[in-house]
Structure 1
Amino acid sequence: MRVRNGAGLVLAWVAVGCGGLQEPPREVKAQACPPGVASRTRVVNPPGTQPYTRLEGLTDAQGTLYFTVPWGGGTVLWRSNGTETGTVQVKVFPEGVFPDGAPAALGNTLFVPLYDRNTGMTQLWASDGTASGTRFVKDFTPGFYGDSLRSMATLNGRLVFFHEALQGTEVWSSDGTSEGTVLVASFPDVLNLYYNSIFQVGNALLFFRSQGGPTTLWRTDGTQAGTFSLKHLDAERVFISQVSLAKDQGLFILDDGPNREVWKTDGTAAGTLRLDTFGGYTSLRLLGRLGSKAYVASYSHLYSLSLSGGGRTLVTTLPVDNEDESPQVLRATISGEAIYFSVAITTLSSWPSDVRLWVTNGTAKGTRELRRLLPGTDMNESPVFATGTGSVLFLKSNGTDNTSRPWFTQGTAATTGQLANVNVRMVDGLGPEPFVRAGNRVFFPATDDTGLEQLWSVPATFTCPPGLTEPL
């Protein structure tokens, strides 16, 4: 499919203040990268592969990308340095062995959780990128709720993770050997821990625990002595709707009945404090941190919160086209001194009528809409990914065949365009981003002219001259 060419485009550039004023329209041209800037790294799914075969678990290990691909009834582990000859199979696992959670890296060692249907056990494997260096570490009993090895993180030179066992939740630590993989703590009264609410601050993983009564914030550094209750948060069982890492601070939203409370934590009891409370069953989403302020969105209102206390300040109100429309922030990322975020436009239906890309530098004048027609469904959250070199990647609906193209932006409509003419699958719910940076390249799975999903990549630093024109 080709991007549509057209004559001059008109963009109503929105300088969003509290009144939603618009500047006079001006002509801009979207950019498009010429073929070759983003390119297929290697065909990993050969002709004849089932069309639903996906690349999964893309993970960076000190500049080397790892991923898994199903084959027939089993799984293949791959690694890539960004070149065709450097993209190779590491190990072919037997039939009946499948990925069972997100991999994690400890230095240049990759840890992979797998489920062995032949034994009924979840297995932890470690790999140094060679067949001989890919070894079995330990068996674990599977849990009730899907993946049983969760939230893997590197702490103090060891892998720390949660095991959701039949009898409850366990914390484990591993040095990559069977003997060095040990149980740290067990919580027999906790089932189905909210793994999307586990986050790392400093040298500890923070998680939330409720025993049917009080809700407390816990920490673990992978040792028994370093695993303990950090702070009492609420006398009742409450829901943690979102967590976010803001440099050296963790942010989270606690849903306490009709109220939404924004908290910060530095991993200590004294540094875990409530910043503000939003009432009235309002929708609230964390955007991130710029300088000394955290930013949140409540429907169309964008607020800043001082991390030193002092309440909130309204930054701006996101405009809508019709009064019955309601903006809902989906995902956000920070690039430089700006926050990029995708916004779903909904009415009475949970299915958004549109998803739009916005950027803010924390001021009303510096908050603007960049692009419309991002992909979105009631089960989809449109990704935004910072490359670390100034560009942000996102997906845009093709508009003709229900597919999504990879796009880029550097913060203005004139520096926003299509990265490649391939289809990148959408992100379901809170699933991982399709983009992963490893070394000096950003990798992503994409369905291309082979008709199958293959490994694609783009340099982390790239420049695309003005090119094809696309309606905003």
Structure 2
Amino acid sequence: MKIKVLFLVIILGNLGYAQYDFEQIDVWSGSNGGSAKYLTQYNGAMYFQAAEITPSFKKLYKTDGTLSGTVQVATNLNAGAGYSPESFTVFNGQLFFTAQVSGLGIELYKTDGTEAGTLLVKDIRAGSSNGLDQNTNNDKQLFVEFNGELYFRGSTNSSIELWKTDGTETGTVSVKNFEATQTGAPVYVTNNEREYLGVVFNNELYFVVNRSGDYELWKTDGSTTGTVIVRNGFSNISNLIVFNNQLFFSATDVGSGNEIWVSDGTSIGTQLKHDIFPNNLNPSLGLGSSPDDFIIFNNEMFFTARGYDDLNNNVIGRELYKTDGALSSLVKNINTTISGSNVERSGLSMPKFKIFNNQLYFIANNDVNGTYGLWVTNGTESGTVEVVSPNDTGVSFQFLNATEYNNALFYFNNQQLWVTNGTLSGTKILTDINGVNSDILQAQLGTLINFSNKLWFEGLSNSNGSELTSLVDNTLSNVKVEGFLEVKLYPNPSKSIINISGNSEIYNIKVFNCLGQKVGETSGRTIDVSSLPIGQYVVKFQTNGGALTKKIIKI
């Protein structure tokens, strides 16, 4: 295992002076790559899955952000072999996860961060069959915490049931068996492309049960007798979210198609809330508005849906809507292009909503600027605008896993790491598949996490393969620069000594080669390059007025 400092990425523009340093912790030494996944903070450390020896030997690791502080947590959980830890969840002062151990299948485990404290909670399904769900793509939230316990789907020999645990073997029990069906009871619901088990509302856990295609809304207080049906008769339920002291969700019934419903927890209080696409407008064009992607922003709930323009007799494609809990309205019709049969194309097929700097960011296609661009809204039609066009960046926006770090949004796009502050000049690619501007060739789609003042993800480099990678922002963006920073270097180029002059007090000087490796450091007023190979170097100055970068040449 080794750590490697990689190439510096320097950006000039509306981000100000921005410099990003990459580092990789080489968990599986060499170019094979440990493929660090599921990065999760717990008890002052970051836990993750990584491979060693062979790709199938996936084990639990933790790091404090340093090489020496990166260690395996449980080396012998599966007699030295891998056990594929997944679905990390912090609960009751411990880290819970699933693992696949020989002879047991996928079961529930917990750790306190030590070898001795990494234990099987309970073998829910006897033998080698799985007791819990596999979650390799990390697209499911397997666990939901409610009333001091963790709830999850557990599978016995005969059924899929609702289970709960307090973290002990005796306290890990089945809450209810839903008529011994293997087709999914309860089932995961989806919102903003993330699957989850349920939500807590009015001190009860609400979830969905599917029995032979009949989707039912259920609730539980944690007891078997207190686990009851709220309402049935739906062919689909999704987007469960608590808003305005009610439970909102999307559901499909025979009369209305797929629309927005609301519940107060009773059968009579579970009613159709917003019929955005009434069937009597044009039944031949299908039923319902198919609302999706619910998110709460500025005391309103925003979502995507299709609608109807009765003035022009057109179906409005999937666009941005909002509700205050009483009335719903179209925020803006972004794509008005007719694709045929009086149906407009959709502007928001995959919005990827993200709240940042008190605005709601998303991606949309207006059929004017190519494919998907970056948009922002403050909740009004005039305040819903495209801030970065795909024609400006040369690529369509995917805006995957957008994460805030140092007052900017970092996200994945076509296996590359990008950054934006919501402006064109502040939107840049940081990784480089050609290895010219960065030694990090790709950012593998997965977790982006802010830990120990760095942004962590799984990055691919030629030298290390796919490994645990960090990005540190050396911008010093919180430093107020007073006056103009001026630093002069002379002679430049030089064979030996380069002198420094300027109007700022210099605290520290670091010299980096073209690979991003630090090759020198001083706090004086000269730089000695006599021992360096001929070539170009980057000098980073830390001064009382901020940060500054200069180039020098050794001849």
Global fold match (TM > 0.5): yes
* Deviation readout 1:295-319 (Å, 9 max, x if unpaired): 1223453211121x13x21211224
The aligned counterpart of 1:408 is 419
Q: Is the 8 A contact 1:74 1:98 kept in 2?
A: yes
Could you tell which deviates more after superposition, 205-214 or 241-250?
241-250
1:199 deviates by 2.9
CA gap 1:212/1:396 in 2 versus in 1, 3 angstroms? closer
Residue 206 (str. 1) matches residue 201 (str. 2): no
* Deviation readout 1:365-399 (Å, 9 max, x if unpaired): 2222234559999xx975243438753322234xx
1:67 deviates by 0.9
Q: Secondary structure at the match of 2:121?
A: strand
CA gap 1:356/1:384 in 2 versus in 1, 3 angstroms? farther
* Deviation readout 1:134-153 (Å, 9 max, x if unpaired): 12222133359962997212
Residue 85 (str. 1) matches residue 68 (str. 2): yes
From 39, 43, 46, the equivalent of 1:65 is: 46
From 112, 117, 124, the equivalent of 1:133 is: 117
From 123, 147, 154, the equivalent of 2:134 is: 147
1:208 deviates by 0.8
CA gap 1:31/1:462 in 2 versus in 1, 3 angstroms? closer
Structure 1 residue identity aligned to 2:206: L
- State the TM-score, normalizing by the size of structure 1: 0.73
The aligned counterpart of 2:237 is 240
Partners of 1:341 and 1:32 in 2: CA distance: 26
Partners of 1:166 and 1:382 in 2: CA distance: 41
1:112 deviates by 1.6
1:254 deviates by 1.6
* Deviation readout 1:109-160 (Å, 9 max, x if unpaired): 11121122x3152222111111221122221333599629972122233322
The aligned counterpart of 2:363 is 342
Q: Pairwise CA RMSD of aligned residues? A: 4.3
CA gap 1:384/1:458 in 2 versus in 1, 3 angstroms? same
Rg (Cα) greater in structure: 2
Residue 55 (str. 1) matches residue 33 (str. 2): no
Residue 194 (str. 1) matches residue 177 (str. 2): no
Partners of 2:338 and 2:455 in 1: CA distance: 38
The aligned counterpart of 2:467 is 454
CA gap 1:100/1:170 in 2 versus in 1, 3 angstroms? farther
Structure with larger RCO (C-alpha < 8 A, sep 6+): 1
1:272 deviates by 5.4
The aligned counterpart of 1:20 is none
Aligned residues: 418
The aligned counterpart of 2:322 is 304
Q: Is the 8 A contact 1:329 1:342 kept in 2?
A: yes
Partners of 1:244 and 1:6 in 2: CA distance: 40
The gaps in structure 1 that reach 5 residues or longer are 8-27, 347-352, 398-403, 427-432, 468-472
Matches for 1:347-362 after TM superposition, within 5 Å: 354-362=371-379
The aligned counterpart of 2:227 is 227
Q: Is the 8 A contact 1:375 1:395 kept in 2?
A: no
Seq. identity, %: 23
1:47 deviates by 0.6
Structure 1 residue identity aligned to 2:25: R
Partners of 1:364 and 1:416 in 2: CA distance: 24
Structure 1 residue identity aligned to 2:183: L
1:105 deviates by 1.2
The aligned counterpart of 2:299 is 292
Q: Is the 8 A contact 1:445 1:455 kept in 2?
A: yes
The aligned counterpart of 2:331 is 315
Q: Is the 8 A contact 2:10 2:19 kept in 1?
A: no
Partners of 2:465 and 2:320 in 1: CA distance: 41
Partners of 2:333 and 2:345 in 1: CA distance: 13
The aligned counterpart of 1:401 is none
- State the TM-score, normalizing by the size of structure 2: 0.63
Q: Is the 8 A contact 2:154 2:160 kept in 1?
A: yes
CA gap 1:456/1:199 in 2 versus in 1, 3 angstroms? farther
Q: Is the 8 A contact 1:241 1:253 kept in 2?
A: yes
The aligned counterpart of 1:277 is 275
Q: Is the 8 A contact 1:410 1:416 kept in 2?
A: yes
The aligned counterpart of 1:396 is 413
From 112, 136, 150, the equivalent of 1:159 is: 150
Q: Secondary structure at the match of 1:235?
A: strand
Partners of 2:165 and 2:82 in 1: CA distance: 22
Q: Secondary structure at the match of 1:34?
A: strand
The aligned counterpart of 1:11 is none
Structure 2 residue identity aligned to 1:405: Q
Q: Is the 8 A contact 1:288 1:333 kept in 2?
A: no
Q: Secondary structure at the match of 1:98?
A: coil
